Amino acid sequence: MLEINHLTMVFKHHQLVIPKLSVAPGQVLTLTGASGIGKSSLLQWVLGVPQPNVAIAGELSLNGVDLTQRPIEQRNIGLVTQQADLFPHMTVQQNLLFARTAQSADRQAWVAEQLNSVGLSEYGDAYPAELSGGQRARIALLRSLAASPKSILLDEPFSALDVKLRTSVREFTWSKLADAQMPAMLVTHDPADAPGEVVNLEHYYYD
């Protein structure tokens, strides 16, 4: 369970005051709201990225552990963005292995299984620039999951994809996250992206 309590975010021209948000294991909580309201800032705060442009007070816990004061490297939270940011100088296989935290003898078998699960068995030696947007999106999600995060944050992960790809990558993402049974938060402008409960940050907006 991911829990946010008593969160106040003071931006230059507005504030967000959010008493409580909680996300259960296997749940994807969707955040919406006008451009500039603070959706990405909220995700970055959960991730643990220091933010010079906003004063933030609040409490964050994950599976009962208080993360509020912990730095990013001790939070074990994954991020997927619309850039599907993979290391450009590494092949798909190297990207996946770089992120992988679990140890086992047969790394090659693990990579093969991962690529097979997303229908990209032939792409282990390809570089990110040689992949389509939808292929990159699938590998980026696999890479995030390879780090065995306890929660995952998705910041407009589908917005660079065309309508058809969007539907298939979306379904792929929800099925992977359902398998992983971790709490997830999604930021999107497209209501069709939301797989469940939606929180509109405009309800928490103050001038």
Ligand X SMILES: Nc1ncnc2c1ncn2[C@@H]1O[C@H](COP(=O)(O)OP(=O)(O)OP(=O)(O)O)[C@@H](O)[C@H]1O
State yes or no: residue 40 binds ligand X (CB under 6 A). yes
Q: What are phi and psi of 61, to 5 degrees?
A: -135, 150
Site string for ligand X, 43-62 (x = CB under 6 A): ----------xx--------
Which range touches ligand X (CB under 6 A), out of 20-28, 37-45, 69-77, 176-184? 37-45
Which residues, 6 or more positions from 4, have their beta carbon under 8 angstroms from its beta carbon?
Answer: 18, 20, 21, 22, 46, 58, 59, 60
- Give all strands (DSSP E) within the chain, no chain letters: 2-10, 15-23, 28-32, 55-62, 65-66, 77-81, 151-155, 184-187, 198-200, 205-206
From 31-39, 55-63, 91-99, 159-167, give the range in contact with ligand X by CB under 6 A: 31-39
Q: What is the CA radius of gyration of the chain?
A: 17
Number of residues that bind ligand X (CB under 6 A): 11
Q: Is 41 in the site for ligand X (CB under 6 A)?
A: yes
Residue 37 found at the interface with ligand X (CB under 6 A): yes
Q: Confirm or reject binding of residue 36 to ligand X (CB under 6 A).
A: yes
Closest to 156 in 3D by CA, of 71, 57, 7, 39: 39
| Residue 37 Cβ vs ligand X, minimum distance, rounded to whole Å | 4
Smallest gap from Cβ 115 to ligand X, in A, equals 31
Residues at the interface with ligand X (CB under 6 A): 11, 33, 35-41, 53-54
